[in-house]
Amino acid sequence: MFEKLDKDYILHSYARNYVNFKYGINATLYDDKEKDYIDFSSGIGVVSVGHANKEFNQAIKKQIDQIIHISNLYMIEPQVKLAKELVTKSGFDMRCFFANSGAEANEAAIKIARKYGEVQGKIKRYKIITLKHSFHGRSISTLKATAQESMHNYFGPFPDGFVYAKDIDQIKELCDDHTIGVMLELIQGEGGVEPQDKKKIQELEQFLKQKDILLMIDEVQTGIYRTGELLACHLYEISPQIITLAKGIANGVPIGVVMSSLKDIFSPGDHGSTFGGNYLSTRAALKVLEILDRYKNSGEFDENMIYFEDRLKNFAKKYPNIILKEVGFGFMRGLRIKSSDMLAKIIDESFKSGVLLLKAGRDTLRFLPPLTISKMEIDEGFKRLDMVFSKTV
């Protein structure tokens, strides 16, 4: 029944699997037939503290009984607290703006860079360089910032001023007098779980500082402990001027954040968001940070992360006829599969066997499990995957 309703009333922008999930427990989901699925995708890197986390649920239930939303015309207590937490824990001297998604956070980042390029210097600087295979969102501006030409079909004309580099080395060549920013994912997610070279990123940071060009790091997927640290910036030991966050920060309650060291760049009226940073979303994010900080400090987080990494590496070694290599950091991992057809088959068969996985790029099987996934769930997931891969050889 619901499949027909979906096909009749929903715009078809997703190639859906027609399963009706009814409830979840940590990294395990159950459908309306009580079939269970190991969730190695966490809603595309969103459900960071697991499905039906009781502590998280209690916090947002309490907030719902008080206030869900007013507007940003008034101070919002949990928003202020969340901003302080993010700035303090990041170690960067920044201020925050809250939106509803990663795309919106990146839109705000683009506006911050463009205004800085307008008010600083003698000529207008507006160009932003992004990397081949990047992904920065699906709004018109962030889609144009996404350096994947196939995604640009049908939706032009686009805003001007985005320049694409084939790799980190080419960025320096492309910088000119009108360049104001370089927007990067330190580990490309949609582009294939592709990590950037740490030394090259650090060299690029120094070059951009000399040119007064902003380093803008898109941490929509990598942020909030996804790579093992609060921010991938910490892994790469860099200090950007702009950072964007979303996905895993509020466990499924929509939120986006842009953090910037340009603390006074916006004036009232320059930017806004009706829903951004409201009581519900910021209370949710505060609780996620509290849970993950405690989990990280206990040592259990790193222990389970290493356990997952070891299982994945051993799995990759077991199937050299299918898997080219293992890539990624922390709980943001991928397996390069020998062909796109084989990858599609693996994802489909894994779903049938009760494992939820993602595609990245043309050939990467992507793993983004809840950060709280247990060893038992990890073992069960790989047990099921083993059966799928053994049939694929």
Rounded Cα distance, 209 and 225, in Å: 27
- At residue 201, the pLDDT reads 98
Domains located in the chain, CATH noted: 2-53+299-392 (3.90.1150.10), 67-296 (3.40.640.10)
Rounded Cα distance, 14 and 43, in Å: 14
Q: What is the pTM of this model?
A: 0.96
Q: Tokens at residue 150, please? A: 């196939």
Q: Residues of the chain whose pLDDT is less than 70?
A: 393
- At residue 139, the pLDDT reads 96
- At residue 188, the pLDDT reads 94
Q: Do residues 391 and 349 lie in contact, with contact meaning Cβ atoms separated by under 8 Å?
A: yes
Q: Do residues 229 and 305 lie in contact, with contact meaning Cβ atoms separated by under 8 Å?
A: no
- At residue 361, the pLDDT reads 87
Q: Tokens at residue 108, please? A: 């705000």
- At residue 44, the pLDDT reads 97
- At residue 362, the pLDDT reads 86
Question: How is 73-95 classified by DSSP, letter by letter?
Answer: TS--HHHHHHHHHHHHHHT---E
The residue type found at 173 is E
- At residue 122, the pLDDT reads 84
CB burial string 119-145: b at 16+ within 10 A, e below: eeeeeebbbbbbbebbbbbeeebbbbb
